[in-house]
Homo-oligomer: A and B are copies of this chain.
Amino acid sequence: MAGRKRAARADGDATRARLLEVAGQLFARLGYAGAANKAICEAAGTDLAAINYHFGGRDGLYQAVLFEGYEQLINLQKLKEIHARQDSAENKLSAAIDMIVDRLYDEGGWHGRVFARELVAPSTHLAALVREGVMPRFKLMSDILSEVTGFSAQDPALLRCVLSVIAPMLMMLVVDRDTPTPFRALMTRPADELKSHLKHFALAGLLATKEQASRRGS
């Protein structure tokens, strides 16, 4: 009996995961309004009731796609581990850049596009996503950059530094690989070139900003 229950649960988990993945791809390509429940269930090989059963309805499915996609875009646990390391702030920044650029080069990406769509055409879920998804990651990055620059968490100079460091990566993450921007050519080059560039550029910019602030302060 217990074995059969476990098997049923495992089947359920697999169905839930399949729905999430298929819905993510379709919401990314067609938008929330354009991806009908019927199309999602057909592509996932489930009946229509599965959306209600696993997600409490279409809205719950979309919310799960949004949060799961963002989590796959930037893994919170990994970023926490990098932040907690006994290491220099420069090395932590380097590890965070490695992690985000590796994600960028991974294949399969509906994650960035669903997030980008939500940012430019917000649903009722954006506020919760920013609060529970964006902010914890933003705070960890702020913290690392505060260590590098000496700027306090309340200093607007720190916020500007976070913008300068993460914008290039964020832009590459959310603009779909099929979109014909000039920057897509970077993806045909090895990931290490982009990582090395982003690290050098960021560190030089951060140290110059720190130095300029200390000159002003003295």
Q: List the interface of chain A (C-beta within 8 A of B).
A: 31, 33, 113, 116-117, 119-122, 126-127, 130, 134-135, 138, 156-157, 159-164, 167-168, 170-172, 174-176, 179-183, 185-186, 189, 193-194, 197-198, 200-209, 212
Q: How many of these chains are in the complex?
A: 2
Known: A31-B121, A120-B113, A183-B163. A204 touches B200 (CB 8 A): no
Chain B, Cβ-Cβ closest to A180: B130
In-complex Cβ contact of A163 among B120, B135, B171, B206 (8 A)? B171
Q: Is the interface of A mostly helix, strand, loop or mixed?
A: helix
Chain B, Cβ-Cβ closest to A189: B156
The CA-CA distance from A134 to B179 in the complex, in Å, is 12
Which B residues are CB-close (under 8 A) to A156? 185-186, 189, 193
Chain B, Cβ-Cβ closest to A208: B204
